[in-house]
Amino acid sequence: MADASTPRIARLRRLERPALTGVLVREVVNFSSYWRSSTFSSTVEPTIYLLAFGFGFGALVGTVGGYDYVEFVGTGTVATAVLFSSAFPAMFGTFVKYQFQRTYDAILAAPVDTEELVTAEAIWIATRAGVYGCVPMLVAMVFGLDPAWGMLAVPGIAFVGGFGWACFGISIAGFASSFENFNYVVSAVLTPLFLVAGTFFPISQLPEWAQIAANLNPLYQLVQLVRHAAFGFEGWTDLVRLGVLVAFGLAMWRVAIFAMTRKLVD
């Protein structure tokens, strides 16, 4: 039988590094052809939010929660930049690569499993989010945000948050049957979470139930962590916040793998 005569070199390991590298190399090489537009949209949009709110509202309110309003918004919009450069590209990019370019068919015909494909895609998007996320903070520095050592942790925090939102976007693309379905997710999920994250106003203004609910919003935890990185960490509380972000990332990671396996493997 074929069993006995074929040399067995079966390595049935999951999440093999060469497979992850292969998918990442594809993304990096592709990035060289579209980095301008992607960098533009991922950085200019949050910067506009920062400038519009920072100066528009900033003129009216002066300080919020003990911070200069520009500092408050400058740190808050880091989370916005992370969301915009992770959830959105993940949703649209995954759908395009699956549906129109059939890229994933080509990759899965190579020695790469869906789990490896999803993981590598999420790592790539999270890395970009980690970099793009810093932009609003750097812009805010120009307008008076003081540098702090803790800020060096921001790319890492943005990566962790970006990983979760990337996996969220991939999951949505995996469950969606058409582009139009994304509208529901953007309107019903992302916009509310984005507004109730303490980015533009402190959530202490909200009713008590909303404040409690906000703690479950990973975007809120991301905003808080970034703010504390700039103005001083709060020890255990921030570790718990980081834990929430990590848990969000791990949970969405498994959901994304489930959704994409359903989509890609008949």
Partner 1 sequence: MADELAIRLRGVTKRYGPITAVKNLDLDVPEGTCVGLLGPNGAGKSTTMRLLTAQAIADEGELEVLGFRLPGESKVARAQCGVVPQLDNLDVTLTVEQNLLVFTHLYRIGRADRRDAIERALRIANLSDRRHDRVSKLSGGMRRRLLIARALVHRPRLLLLDEPTVGLDPQVRQELWALIDAMRAEGTTILMSTHYIEEAQRLADTVMIMSHGSAVAAGPPAELVATHAGLEAVEVYGAPAKLAEAEAAAAAAGFRTRRTGTSISVLGIEGADGRAPEGEPRPTNLEDVFVLLTGEEID
- Cα(51)–Cα(186) distance, integer angstroms: 23
Q: Are 129 and 161 in contact, with CB atoms under 8 Å apart?
A: yes
Minimum distance, C-beta of residue 20 to partner 1, in the bound complex (Å): 10
**Residue showing tokens 């990185």:** 229
Cβ burial of 96 (10 Å; 0-12, 13-18, 19+) is middle
Work out whether 96 is an interface residue with partner 1 (CB under 8 A): no
**Phi, psi (rounded to 5 degrees) for 232:** 120, 125
Q: Which two tokens stand for residue 82?
A: 């992370």
**Phi, psi (rounded to 5 degrees) for 68:** -60, 140
Minimum distance, C-beta of residue 86 to partner 1, in the bound complex (Å): 22
- Cα(188)–Cα(167) distance, integer angstroms: 18
Question: Of 216, 171, 181, 174, which Cα lies nearest the Cα of 196?
Answer: 216
Work out whether 59 is an interface residue with partner 1 (CB under 8 A): no
Whichever of 8 and 208 has its CB closer to partner 1, that residue is 8
Work out whether 110 is an interface residue with partner 1 (CB under 8 A): yes
Work out whether 266 is an interface residue with partner 1 (CB under 8 A): yes
Choose the stretch contacting partner 1; rule: CB under 8 A; options: 64-72, 99-107, 128-136, 166-174: 99-107
Work out whether 9 is an interface residue with partner 1 (CB under 8 A): yes
Q: Which two tokens stand for residue 46?
A: 């949050």
Which residue in the set 51, 107, 193, 256 belongs to the binding site for partner 1 (CB under 8 A)? 107
Which residue in the set 58, 94, 111, 165 belongs to the binding site for partner 1 (CB under 8 A)? 111
Whichever of 228 and 263 has its CB closer to partner 1, that residue is 263
User: Contact residues for partner 1 (CB under 8 A)?
Assistant: 1-3, 5-6, 9-12, 18-19, 21-23, 25-26, 29-30, 33-34, 101-103, 105-113, 264-266
